[in-house]
Amino acid sequence: MKFFIDTADLAEIEVLSATGLVDGVTTNPSLVAQSGRPFLQAVREICAVVPGPVSAEVTATDHETMLAEGRLLAGLAPNVAVKVPLTVDGLKTCKVLAGEGTPVNVTLCFSAGQALLAAKAGAAYISPFVGRLDDAGQDGMDLIAEIVEIYSQYPGLKTEVLVASVRGVKHVVEAACLGADVATIPPAVLRALFEHPLTDRGLAAFLADWEKTGQSILPKQAAE
């Protein structure tokens, strides 16, 4: 499964992408607002740090303006994926941009029917929002299972299931169990994926025992 980071915070992106474990980035207008950065500049900067796809979302709601915005965003860097909302105008825009060779991430997906439409419109990614469905009293992972099952019926289909609105490690692991292609993960959740108290305790014990041996793997520095 690919890991994208769900943030527009360049400092976070730089630190986390240095792990070599980050395959892309997703942003949305709320995340851009949180970052306090000028949008177009932020997209250029993020694209320069992460070689994988960087989703940048249009903010118009009508097809013509969405298309103009999408083309402008796509021109910012070769790794921009244009993000459009799952509306009639959004999918019309997706169809045109995809035809022009621009990868499109269709966002705000809350049903399998919507995911079917996005695939038909040539989306590179469909973004079902699991956390927001959980918040609304449904099980977001049921939707992921349904979309993965439907898409698997059509092996020629290129649309990837990008699990969005991830709230914790459990969402990431469950998405992987279901065979989702991508999870877009908030920085705090990505950090939490690394952690386990037994890892910390085990490492401390190994290092304490190693210290007792007085050995060093690398040659010891000559005393100054």
* Chain contacts with ligand E4P (rule: CB under 6 A): 6, 26, 28, 107, 127, 129, 131-132, 164-165, 184
Q: How far apart are CA 90 and CA 112, in angstroms?
A: 17
Task: Pick the closer one to ligand E4P by CB: 28 or 93.
Answer: 28
Q: How far apart are CA 201 and CA 8, in angstroms?
A: 34
Q: How far is the CB of 123 from ligand E4P (least distance, A)?
A: 13
Task: Pick the closer one to ligand E4P by CB: 3 or 207.
Answer: 3
Q: How far apart are CA 164 and CA 184, in angstroms?
A: 5
The CA-CA-CA angle for residues 47, 29, 186, to 5°, reads 65
83 in catalytic set: yes
Task: Pick the closer one to ligand E4P by CB: 131 or 179.
Answer: 131
Is residue 146 within 8 A of residue 128, CB to CB? The reply is no
Q: How far is the CB of 127 from ligand E4P (least distance, A)?
A: 5
H or E segment and range at residue 86: none
Taking CB atoms, the residue at the shortest distance from ligand E4P is 165
Task: Pick the closer one to ligand E4P by CB: 93 or 165.
Answer: 165
Q: How far is the CB of 95 from ligand E4P (least distance, A)?
A: 20
Contacts of 55 (CB under 8 A, 6+ apart): 4, 24, 25, 26, 27, 28, 80, 81, 82, 83, 105, 107, 125
Q: How far is the CB of 223 from ligand E4P (least distance, A)?
A: 53
H or E segment and range at residue 168: none
Of 2, 83, 92, 158, the catalytic one is: 83
Active-site residues: which are they? 83
